[in-house]
A and B are shown apart, each in its own frame.
Chain A
Amino acid sequence: MASQIYQAVVDGILVGGVYALMAVGLTLIFGVLDIINIAQGVLVILGAYLSYSLSTRAHIDLFTGLLITIPVMFIIGVVIHWAFIRRLRGSERTSMTLLVTYAAALIIEGVLYMLYGADNVQLKASYTTSSVHLLGFYLPWIYVYGFILAVVLVLAVYLLLYRSRFGRTIRATMQDETAARLVGIDVNRVSALTFGIGVAVTAVGGMMYGATNAFNANSGYDLISRLLAIIILGGLGSIGGALAASVFMITLESVVTIWEPTWAIAVFYAALVLVLVIRPQGFFGRKEVRAQ
């Protein structure tokens, strides 16, 4: 029994890394722009398909391919922001963005169906099925790389936010948009770049998801509710919180799976509700500064 629990914890940490990669972009966008990006799940799949095209057509390694998919996704993000998000104003902005991003998700999904068909595909490389034997566990390379990448990415985004000039403008916008505007910050530009960065980071999450699961255009819907739960638990806008919450939630889920796989997700959501009732701002969140 003990060995099963250890195995479940190892699984939870490794899979949690993949979820963190998918959640970081969402929480960043959420924190800065104050919107729920329903399209995040579909953007993950878009990132996965981009990597798929590069690896099957041009035979570029999955990780090398990120050098191309990240900038491409950044541009897609900036375009989505410029075309749709930027225009939304006013008291119902939150709900509006919910709908706009849902619409964007529908369109992206439709386009992916047209381009790739409905058959499931998976990203393949030598390291997606091989593993390293460590302390009695087989650790699949793809998850190990993914976890390292998640930590690196979280650090990078953290440094960007807390050690750079641009980061200061982002954080200022996060805390008080009006005040940021008053001190001369171009809030629109900051928002566009943040949305772009959030979507760019998702390219990595998409590649990792595609390398660990078979997917088609419709797979994104299963993801969004979990990702939302994770970023709320981690605290909105908290990058480190997203990683911690991913690992915590997925570990909890995989431990429960030992006894009752069918109740595992229920425990996941019940834990979320419980935590929020006790601590509405999540693990690492600041108090809601924009409470209406």
Chain B
Amino acid sequence: MRPSLPWFSKTALAAAVTVLTAGSLAACGTSASGGAGGSSKGPISIGASLSLTGDFSADGQAFDKGYKLWAKDVNASGGIGGRQVKLTVLNDASNPNQAVTNYQTLMNSDHVDLTFGPFSSLITTPAASVAARGGYALIEGAGGAPTVFNSPPNQADHNIFDVSLPIADEMMPFVDYIKSLPPAKRPKTAAYPMAQDPFADPPVQAAQKALQALGVKTVYSKVFPEEVADYKAPADQVASQKPDLVVLGSTDVPTVGAFMQAFEQQHYTPKMFIPAAGPDQGQAFTSAVGAANANGVMVPNGWFPGYANPQSQQMVKQYVKTYGGNASGVNADVAEAYAVGQVAAQAVKATGGTDNAKIIKYLHSGASISSVQGPVKFDSLGENGAAAAFIFQWQNKGNYTQVLPAGASGSKSILATKPSWSS
């Protein structure tokens, strides 16, 4: 290297320095917190990756609140089996590469005892593969698309557990309700616009099939791209058909808001309006669409802030105390996240520790676990077969009310026809 330093050896030098520094830094991080894994004393460390920024940030941040609220409550009540809980949440920026990195960091560098799931089916599948290779159970509350459970890695490892309601059947209480109506009172026509999303389409398609069998005529059934700019055109087309019922395959608040705005502009009020997701987001929904407009809007879900379950009521109280707002403003994501924590806590208690192999076995054993979302019982692929399915409705300018199944504990009377906009 004496006479001249040719360009590539300069690069070699630079790259060598880079790699060594990066490696040492990472290794330092590793050894600094090493040794925590597997110990049966001291705090239980739990790791999760959530989309705190990016596409899923609205839901990711709500989930973050749920996990943190659970950890706080558990620690206030003396921890799990006397052990405090230490929660680490990393941001995956809605990017699966980052989620893969985060879970490997949590498992191998932070040596967490348990892993909790990320937000959305998109991130859950790769996260579950990473967890499976590390021998971890991935308990999650928001990766409900059928593809998450049917992926080859999960079929081989069976390490995913979704505490929430399986989405494919979530519209069924609504279908049963239509069925219970005298034929003259059933909606005559229905529209099924669906966002292109693995989470949004299955329940709407199932509902369409069942309602057609009941004689409800389909006037519109199309999938539209999940991008904000495209909503006005499909919404106007739905409005121009003036169907009695609109079952909207939505994933988030902006989609529902755009359809509602277009309907109102077209002076069209569906008699029944039931989006797959969005109206379950509490205040995040009403502040985007207006509380008055929300009147009569329905949504399927496994949980709501007024759920007549003592654990849930306690959680809602704690939530309002910690984060402010009011009870009906609590996002369903919070309960999903909270239930993940409860299921994990129950599994740790039942197996007497944080051995993930035992936990996976226990969760597959058919044990019934109670959570803020009601009972949890996993099938062989990790779906919660015991989850209660409800239909909720916004009533009286900002009251989120359980209305279906009719006659179930906590169900109030349904607003059979949606009032016109802003009335």
Contacts and interface: CB of A to CB of B under 8 A. Distances in A.
B229 A223 contact: yes
Nearest to B258: A213
Nearest to B61: A118
Interface in A28-70: none
Given A120-B284, A138-B266, A218 B224 contact: no
Residue of A138, A253, A264 ringed by the most chain B CB atoms within 10 A = A138
Residue of A3, A110, A214, A216 ringed by the most chain B CB atoms within 10 A = A214
**Chain A at the B interface: SS class:** helix
Contacts of B265: 129-131, 138, 140
Contacts of A222: 227-229
B30 interface: no
A11 B233 contact: yes
A127 B196 CA distance: 30
A257 B261 CA distance: 18
Contacts of A253: 230, 233
B58 A8 contact: no
Contacts of A7: 236-237, 240
A223 B267 CA distance: 28
Interface residues of B, number: 43
Interface in A142-191: none
A264 B230 CA distance: 9
A150 B47 CA distance: 50
Interface in A190-216: 212-216
A8 B264 CA distance: 17
A217 B53 CA distance: 9
B232 A261 contact: no
A119 B264 contact: no
A129 B261 contact: yes
A94 interface: no
B290 interface: yes
Nearest to B60: A118
A99 to B, nearest CB: 19
B227 A120 contact: no
Interface string B49-75: 000111101101100000000000000
A219 B236 CA distance: 22
Nearest to B55: A218
B254 interface: yes
Interface of A: 3-4, 7-8, 11-12, 14-15, 19, 109-110, 113, 117-122, 124, 128-131, 133, 138, 140, 212-219, 222-223, 226, 253-254, 257-258, 260-262, 264-265
